[in-house]
Structure 1
Amino acid sequence: MDDEEARTRLLDAAEELFYCHGIQAVGMDRIRTASGVPLKRLYRLYPAKDALVTAYLERRDRRWTASLREAVAASAQPPVLAVFDWLARWFSEPDFRGCAFLNAYGELGSAAPEVVRVHKAELHALLAGLVPDAAPPALADQLLILVEGATTVAALSPGPEPALRAREVAEVLLRQ
Protein backbone atom coordinates (compact mmCIF):
# COMPACT_ATOMS: atom_id res chain seq x y z
CA MET A 1 0.00 0.00 0.00
CA ASP A 2 1.43 3.36 -1.02
CA ASP A 3 0.91 6.65 0.86
CA GLU A 4 -1.96 7.75 -1.39
CA GLU A 5 -3.92 4.55 -0.73
CA ALA A 6 -3.14 4.80 2.99
CA ARG A 7 -4.36 8.42 3.05
CA THR A 8 -7.59 7.44 1.29
CA ARG A 9 -8.21 4.53 3.64
CA LEU A 10 -7.50 6.69 6.68
CA LEU A 11 -9.78 9.49 5.50
CA ASP A 12 -12.54 7.03 4.62
CA ALA A 13 -12.34 5.49 8.09
CA ALA A 14 -12.09 8.89 9.79
CA GLU A 15 -15.09 10.23 7.89
CA GLU A 16 -17.27 7.26 8.74
CA LEU A 17 -16.24 7.13 12.40
CA PHE A 18 -16.06 10.86 13.17
CA TYR A 19 -19.36 11.61 11.43
CA CYS A 20 -21.17 8.68 13.05
CA HIS A 21 -19.69 8.72 16.56
CA GLY A 22 -18.08 12.15 17.00
CA ILE A 23 -14.50 13.35 16.87
CA GLN A 24 -13.75 13.09 20.57
CA ALA A 25 -15.27 9.61 20.90
CA VAL A 26 -13.01 8.11 18.23
CA GLY A 27 -9.36 7.48 18.93
CA MET A 28 -6.52 7.05 16.48
CA ASP A 29 -6.28 3.34 17.27
CA ARG A 30 -9.88 2.84 16.18
CA ILE A 31 -9.15 4.64 12.92
CA ARG A 32 -6.06 2.51 12.43
CA THR A 33 -8.10 -0.66 12.96
CA ALA A 34 -10.91 0.44 10.64
CA SER A 35 -8.52 1.56 7.91
CA GLY A 36 -6.06 -1.30 8.12
CA VAL A 37 -3.21 1.21 7.97
CA PRO A 38 -0.33 0.51 10.37
CA LEU A 39 -0.10 2.96 13.27
CA LYS A 40 3.41 4.04 12.29
CA ARG A 41 2.22 5.06 8.81
CA LEU A 42 -0.88 6.73 10.22
CA TYR A 43 1.26 8.98 12.43
CA ARG A 44 3.72 9.62 9.60
CA LEU A 45 0.87 10.86 7.38
CA TYR A 46 -1.07 12.58 10.18
CA PRO A 47 1.28 13.36 13.08
CA ALA A 48 -1.62 14.32 15.36
CA LYS A 49 -5.35 13.71 15.52
CA ASP A 50 -5.92 17.39 14.77
CA ALA A 51 -4.22 16.95 11.39
CA LEU A 52 -6.49 14.01 10.55
CA VAL A 53 -9.60 15.91 11.67
CA THR A 54 -8.63 18.86 9.48
CA ALA A 55 -7.94 16.61 6.47
CA TYR A 56 -11.28 14.82 6.98
CA LEU A 57 -13.20 18.09 7.12
CA GLU A 58 -11.34 19.57 4.14
CA ARG A 59 -12.15 16.53 2.02
CA ARG A 60 -15.76 16.54 3.19
CA ASP A 61 -16.01 20.26 2.34
CA ARG A 62 -14.77 19.64 -1.21
CA ARG A 63 -17.18 16.74 -1.74
CA TRP A 64 -20.20 18.39 -0.11
CA THR A 65 -19.77 21.70 -1.92
CA ALA A 66 -19.13 20.03 -5.29
CA SER A 67 -22.23 17.86 -4.89
CA LEU A 68 -24.37 20.88 -4.05
CA ARG A 69 -22.98 22.92 -6.96
CA GLU A 70 -23.56 20.04 -9.40
CA ALA A 71 -27.12 19.55 -8.21
CA VAL A 72 -27.94 23.24 -8.55
CA ALA A 73 -26.39 23.40 -12.03
CA ALA A 74 -28.33 20.32 -13.18
CA SER A 75 -31.69 21.39 -11.76
CA ALA A 76 -34.51 22.87 -13.77
CA GLN A 77 -35.64 24.70 -10.61
CA PRO A 78 -34.54 28.25 -9.76
CA PRO A 79 -31.03 27.90 -8.26
CA VAL A 80 -31.97 28.93 -4.72
CA LEU A 81 -34.83 26.42 -4.63
CA ALA A 82 -32.58 23.71 -6.08
CA VAL A 83 -30.44 24.08 -2.94
CA PHE A 84 -33.36 23.04 -0.76
CA ASP A 85 -34.26 20.17 -3.10
CA TRP A 86 -30.68 18.91 -2.73
CA LEU A 87 -30.90 19.31 1.04
CA ALA A 88 -34.11 17.23 1.09
CA ARG A 89 -32.26 14.39 -0.65
CA TRP A 90 -29.25 14.72 1.68
CA PHE A 91 -31.44 14.75 4.79
CA SER A 92 -33.05 11.51 3.58
CA GLU A 93 -29.79 9.58 3.28
CA PRO A 94 -29.71 6.67 5.77
CA ASP A 95 -26.45 7.82 7.38
CA PHE A 96 -27.40 11.52 7.68
CA ARG A 97 -26.25 12.89 11.04
CA GLY A 98 -26.38 16.64 10.50
CA CYS A 99 -23.67 19.02 9.43
CA ALA A 100 -20.19 17.61 10.03
CA PHE A 101 -18.86 21.14 10.39
CA LEU A 102 -21.38 22.23 13.02
CA ASN A 103 -20.92 18.89 14.74
CA ALA A 104 -17.16 19.49 14.85
CA TYR A 105 -17.64 23.01 16.18
CA GLY A 106 -20.12 21.74 18.76
CA GLU A 107 -17.56 19.24 20.02
CA LEU A 108 -14.39 21.28 19.73
CA GLY A 109 -15.60 24.87 20.14
CA SER A 110 -12.95 27.45 19.40
CA ALA A 111 -10.40 24.65 18.92
CA ALA A 112 -12.29 23.46 15.81
CA PRO A 113 -10.18 23.63 12.65
CA GLU A 114 -10.42 26.78 10.55
CA VAL A 115 -12.01 24.73 7.76
CA VAL A 116 -15.28 24.87 9.74
CA ARG A 117 -15.44 28.65 9.37
CA VAL A 118 -14.18 28.50 5.79
CA HIS A 119 -16.91 26.01 4.88
CA LYS A 120 -19.63 28.28 6.26
CA ALA A 121 -18.16 31.32 4.48
CA GLU A 122 -18.06 29.33 1.22
CA LEU A 123 -21.68 28.27 1.69
CA HIS A 124 -22.68 31.89 2.25
CA ALA A 125 -20.80 32.94 -0.89
CA LEU A 126 -22.41 30.15 -2.88
CA LEU A 127 -25.87 31.26 -1.76
CA ALA A 128 -25.06 34.91 -2.47
CA GLY A 129 -24.09 33.91 -6.00
CA LEU A 130 -27.46 32.23 -6.54
CA VAL A 131 -29.76 35.05 -5.47
CA PRO A 132 -31.28 37.24 -8.17
CA ASP A 133 -29.44 40.49 -8.87
CA ALA A 134 -32.36 42.61 -7.67
CA ALA A 135 -32.56 40.78 -4.33
CA PRO A 136 -31.82 42.68 -1.11
CA PRO A 137 -28.29 42.16 0.22
CA ALA A 138 -29.60 40.40 3.33
CA LEU A 139 -31.19 37.58 1.30
CA ALA A 140 -28.02 35.47 1.28
CA ASP A 141 -27.80 35.81 5.07
CA GLN A 142 -31.43 34.77 5.42
CA LEU A 143 -30.93 31.77 3.13
CA LEU A 144 -27.89 30.68 5.11
CA ILE A 145 -29.96 30.74 8.28
CA LEU A 146 -32.65 28.68 6.55
CA VAL A 147 -30.10 26.12 5.32
CA GLU A 148 -28.41 25.84 8.72
CA GLY A 149 -31.69 25.73 10.61
CA ALA A 150 -33.13 23.05 8.34
CA THR A 151 -29.93 21.02 8.69
CA THR A 152 -30.05 21.23 12.48
CA VAL A 153 -33.72 20.24 12.62
CA ALA A 154 -33.07 17.35 10.21
CA ALA A 155 -30.21 16.13 12.39
CA LEU A 156 -32.76 15.60 15.16
CA SER A 157 -35.49 14.27 12.86
CA PRO A 158 -33.93 13.01 9.61
CA GLY A 159 -35.99 13.17 6.45
CA PRO A 160 -36.88 15.72 3.78
CA GLU A 161 -39.47 17.72 5.75
CA PRO A 162 -37.13 20.37 7.24
CA ALA A 163 -35.72 21.13 3.79
CA LEU A 164 -39.19 21.27 2.24
CA ARG A 165 -40.43 23.70 4.93
CA ALA A 166 -37.30 25.84 4.51
CA ARG A 167 -37.86 25.79 0.73
CA GLU A 168 -41.35 27.23 1.29
CA VAL A 169 -39.86 30.09 3.32
CA ALA A 170 -37.19 30.64 0.65
CA GLU A 171 -39.95 30.94 -1.97
CA VAL A 172 -41.62 33.65 0.12
CA LEU A 173 -38.32 35.50 0.49
CA LEU A 174 -37.66 35.31 -3.25
CA ARG A 175 -41.09 36.77 -4.04
CA GLN A 176 -40.51 39.82 -1.80
Structure 2
Amino acid sequence: MDDEEARTRLLDAAEALFYADGIQAVGMDRIRADSGVPLKRLYRVFPAKEALVTAYLERRDRRWTTSLREAVTGSPTPVLTVFDWLADWFSEPDFRGCAFLNAYGELGAGGPPAVLDVVRRHKSELRALLAELAGPDHPALADQLLILVEGATVVAALDPGPEPARRAREVAERLLATSH
Protein backbone atom coordinates (compact mmCIF):
# COMPACT_ATOMS: atom_id res chain seq x y z
CA MET A 1 0.00 0.00 0.00
CA ASP A 2 1.43 3.38 -1.00
CA ASP A 3 0.81 6.69 0.77
CA GLU A 4 -1.97 7.72 -1.64
CA GLU A 5 -3.94 4.52 -1.06
CA ALA A 6 -3.34 4.86 2.69
CA ARG A 7 -4.56 8.47 2.58
CA THR A 8 -7.76 7.47 0.76
CA ARG A 9 -8.45 4.59 3.14
CA LEU A 10 -7.78 6.76 6.18
CA LEU A 11 -10.05 9.54 4.89
CA ASP A 12 -12.81 7.06 4.06
CA ALA A 13 -12.67 5.62 7.58
CA ALA A 14 -12.37 9.04 9.20
CA GLU A 15 -15.33 10.42 7.29
CA ALA A 16 -17.60 7.53 8.19
CA LEU A 17 -16.55 7.52 11.84
CA PHE A 18 -16.28 11.25 12.51
CA TYR A 19 -19.60 11.98 10.82
CA ALA A 20 -21.43 9.15 12.59
CA ASP A 21 -19.86 9.29 16.05
CA GLY A 22 -18.12 12.66 16.38
CA ILE A 23 -14.53 13.79 16.15
CA GLN A 24 -13.68 13.55 19.82
CA ALA A 25 -15.33 10.16 20.28
CA VAL A 26 -13.17 8.54 17.60
CA GLY A 27 -9.52 7.85 18.32
CA MET A 28 -6.71 7.25 15.89
CA ASP A 29 -6.61 3.55 16.86
CA ARG A 30 -10.18 3.12 15.66
CA ILE A 31 -9.39 4.92 12.39
CA ARG A 32 -6.35 2.70 11.95
CA ALA A 33 -8.38 -0.45 12.63
CA ASP A 34 -11.25 0.52 10.32
CA SER A 35 -8.93 1.64 7.51
CA GLY A 36 -6.53 -1.30 7.72
CA VAL A 37 -3.61 1.12 7.49
CA PRO A 38 -0.62 0.30 9.70
CA LEU A 39 -0.02 2.74 12.55
CA LYS A 40 3.38 3.83 11.25
CA ARG A 41 1.97 4.74 7.84
CA LEU A 42 -1.06 6.45 9.41
CA TYR A 43 1.22 8.84 11.30
CA ARG A 44 3.43 9.34 8.24
CA VAL A 45 0.40 10.41 6.18
CA PHE A 46 -1.36 12.30 9.01
CA PRO A 47 1.15 13.22 11.74
CA ALA A 48 -1.64 14.40 14.06
CA LYS A 49 -5.37 13.93 14.43
CA GLU A 50 -5.86 17.64 13.60
CA ALA A 51 -4.34 17.02 10.15
CA LEU A 52 -6.73 14.11 9.56
CA VAL A 53 -9.77 16.09 10.71
CA THR A 54 -8.77 19.02 8.49
CA ALA A 55 -8.28 16.75 5.46
CA TYR A 56 -11.62 15.01 6.14
CA LEU A 57 -13.48 18.32 6.22
CA GLU A 58 -11.67 19.66 3.16
CA ARG A 59 -12.57 16.55 1.14
CA ARG A 60 -16.16 16.67 2.37
CA ASP A 61 -16.37 20.36 1.45
CA ARG A 62 -15.20 19.67 -2.12
CA ARG A 63 -17.70 16.84 -2.62
CA TRP A 64 -20.62 18.60 -0.94
CA THR A 65 -20.09 21.89 -2.76
CA THR A 66 -19.51 20.20 -6.12
CA SER A 67 -22.71 18.18 -5.74
CA LEU A 68 -24.74 21.27 -4.86
CA ARG A 69 -23.25 23.29 -7.73
CA GLU A 70 -24.03 20.48 -10.18
CA ALA A 71 -27.62 20.35 -8.94
CA VAL A 72 -28.26 24.07 -9.48
CA THR A 73 -26.41 24.38 -12.79
CA GLY A 74 -28.91 24.84 -15.58
CA SER A 75 -31.89 24.87 -13.26
CA PRO A 76 -34.59 27.39 -14.21
CA THR A 77 -35.02 28.10 -10.47
CA PRO A 78 -31.55 27.56 -8.99
CA VAL A 79 -32.35 29.05 -5.57
CA LEU A 80 -35.30 26.71 -5.12
CA THR A 81 -33.25 23.81 -6.45
CA VAL A 82 -30.92 24.31 -3.48
CA PHE A 83 -33.78 23.33 -1.19
CA ASP A 84 -34.77 20.38 -3.37
CA TRP A 85 -31.16 19.19 -3.17
CA LEU A 86 -31.24 19.65 0.61
CA ALA A 87 -34.45 17.59 0.83
CA ASP A 88 -32.67 14.72 -0.94
CA TRP A 89 -29.61 15.05 1.32
CA PHE A 90 -31.74 15.18 4.49
CA SER A 91 -33.42 11.94 3.37
CA GLU A 92 -30.20 9.96 3.10
CA PRO A 93 -30.13 7.13 5.67
CA ASP A 94 -26.82 8.25 7.19
CA PHE A 95 -27.69 11.97 7.37
CA ARG A 96 -26.39 13.45 10.64
CA GLY A 97 -26.53 17.17 9.94
CA CYS A 98 -23.81 19.46 8.74
CA ALA A 99 -20.34 18.01 9.30
CA PHE A 100 -18.94 21.53 9.57
CA LEU A 101 -21.42 22.73 12.18
CA ASN A 102 -21.00 19.43 14.00
CA ALA A 103 -17.22 19.91 14.07
CA TYR A 104 -17.54 23.50 15.26
CA GLY A 105 -20.11 22.55 17.89
CA GLU A 106 -17.92 19.76 19.14
CA LEU A 107 -14.57 21.58 19.12
CA GLY A 108 -15.78 25.11 19.88
CA ALA A 109 -14.21 28.44 19.05
CA GLY A 110 -10.98 27.34 20.69
CA GLY A 111 -10.62 24.29 18.48
CA PRO A 112 -7.67 23.64 16.20
CA PRO A 113 -7.18 26.69 13.94
CA ALA A 114 -6.79 24.65 10.74
CA VAL A 115 -10.07 22.85 11.39
CA LEU A 116 -11.91 26.08 12.20
CA ASP A 117 -10.51 27.66 9.02
CA VAL A 118 -12.05 24.86 6.93
CA VAL A 119 -15.39 25.29 8.70
CA ARG A 120 -15.41 29.06 8.14
CA ARG A 121 -14.28 28.72 4.53
CA HIS A 122 -17.06 26.19 3.83
CA LYS A 123 -19.72 28.55 5.21
CA SER A 124 -18.23 31.48 3.30
CA GLU A 125 -18.28 29.47 0.06
CA LEU A 126 -21.90 28.48 0.67
CA ARG A 127 -22.85 32.10 1.25
CA ALA A 128 -20.98 33.10 -1.95
CA LEU A 129 -22.85 30.45 -3.94
CA LEU A 130 -26.18 31.66 -2.57
CA ALA A 131 -25.21 35.25 -3.43
CA GLU A 132 -24.37 34.15 -6.95
CA LEU A 133 -27.76 32.44 -7.28
CA ALA A 134 -29.65 35.37 -5.73
CA GLY A 135 -28.01 37.82 -8.14
CA PRO A 136 -25.88 40.92 -7.63
CA ASP A 137 -28.83 43.17 -6.86
CA HIS A 138 -29.86 41.14 -3.80
CA PRO A 139 -27.04 40.92 -1.22
CA ALA A 140 -29.45 40.70 1.73
CA LEU A 141 -31.25 37.80 0.05
CA ALA A 142 -28.07 35.71 0.13
CA ASP A 143 -27.80 36.18 3.88
CA GLN A 144 -31.47 35.27 4.34
CA LEU A 145 -31.06 32.17 2.18
CA LEU A 146 -28.00 31.14 4.18
CA ILE A 147 -30.05 31.33 7.37
CA LEU A 148 -32.75 29.21 5.76
CA VAL A 149 -30.25 26.59 4.56
CA GLU A 150 -28.47 26.41 7.91
CA GLY A 151 -31.69 26.42 9.90
CA ALA A 152 -33.22 23.67 7.80
CA THR A 153 -30.05 21.62 8.15
CA VAL A 154 -30.06 21.91 11.94
CA VAL A 155 -33.75 21.03 12.16
CA ALA A 156 -33.23 18.05 9.85
CA ALA A 157 -30.33 16.83 12.00
CA LEU A 158 -32.78 16.57 14.89
CA ASP A 159 -35.63 15.17 12.80
CA PRO A 160 -34.21 13.69 9.56
CA GLY A 161 -36.25 13.75 6.41
CA PRO A 162 -37.17 16.19 3.65
CA GLU A 163 -39.73 18.29 5.54
CA PRO A 164 -37.35 20.96 6.91
CA ALA A 165 -36.04 21.59 3.40
CA ARG A 166 -39.56 21.76 2.00
CA ARG A 167 -40.62 24.29 4.64
CA ALA A 168 -37.48 26.36 4.03
CA ARG A 169 -38.18 26.20 0.28
CA GLU A 170 -41.64 27.72 0.88
CA VAL A 171 -40.05 30.60 2.78
CA ALA A 172 -37.44 31.01 0.03
CA GLU A 173 -40.23 31.24 -2.56
CA ARG A 174 -41.82 34.09 -0.59
CA LEU A 175 -38.46 35.85 -0.24
CA LEU A 176 -37.85 35.57 -3.97
CA ALA A 177 -41.31 36.90 -4.77
CA THR A 178 -40.79 39.99 -2.60
CA SER A 179 -37.21 40.66 -3.69
CA HIS A 180 -37.75 40.70 -7.45
Matching residue of 1:164 = 166
1:62 aligns with 2:62: yes
Cα shift at 1:133: 4.2
For residues 68 and 92 of structure 1, the distance between their equivalents in structure 2, rounded to whole angstroms, comes to: 15
* Equivalences, count: 174
Superposed structure 1 runs of 4+ greater than 6 Å apart: none
- Percentage of identical aligned residues: 80
**In the alignment, which residue of structure 2 is the partner of 1:21?**
21
Query: Which of 124, 136, 155 is the aligned partner of 2:127?
Result: 124
Cα deviation, residue 38, structure 1: 0.3
Structure 1: which amino acid aligns with 2:151? G
User: 1:132 Cα deviation (Å)?
Assistant: 3.5
Q: 2:121 & 2:14 partners in 1: Cα distance?
A: 20
Give, in whole Å, the separation in 2 of the partners of 1:106 and 1:90: 21
Counterpart residue identity of residue 127, structure 1:
L
Aligned 1:10-49 pairs, distance under 5 A: 10-49=10-49
Deviation at 1:29, TM superposition (A): 0.2
Question: Any unmatched runs of 5+ in structure 2?
Answer: none
Residue 148 of structure 2 aligns with which residue?
146
Cα offset, 1:134, TM superposition: 3.9
CA distance in 2, matches of 1:134, 1:102: 29
Q: Report the counterpart of residue 95 of structure 2 in structure 1.
A: 96
Deviation at 1:108, TM superposition (A): 0.3
SS in 2 for 1:138: helix
Moved more, 58-67 or 112-121: 112-121
Amino acid at match of 1:106: G
- Match runs of 1:109-120 below 5 Å: 109-110=108-109, 111-112=111-112, 113=115, 114-120=117-123
Q: Which amino acid is 1:131 matched to? A: A
Q: Which runs of 5+ in 1 are unaligned?
A: none
Q: 1:81-129 CA deviation, whole Å, 9 max, x = no partner? A: 0100000000000000000000000000121511000000000000000
CA distance in 2, matches of 1:22, 1:166: 27
- Give the distance between the partners of 2:45 and 2:5, measured in 1 at CA: 11
SS in 1 for 2:19: helix
TM-score normalised by structure 2 residue count: 0.94
Instruction: Return the alpha-carbon distance in structure 1 between the equivalents of residues 74 and 15 of structure 2.
Output: 27
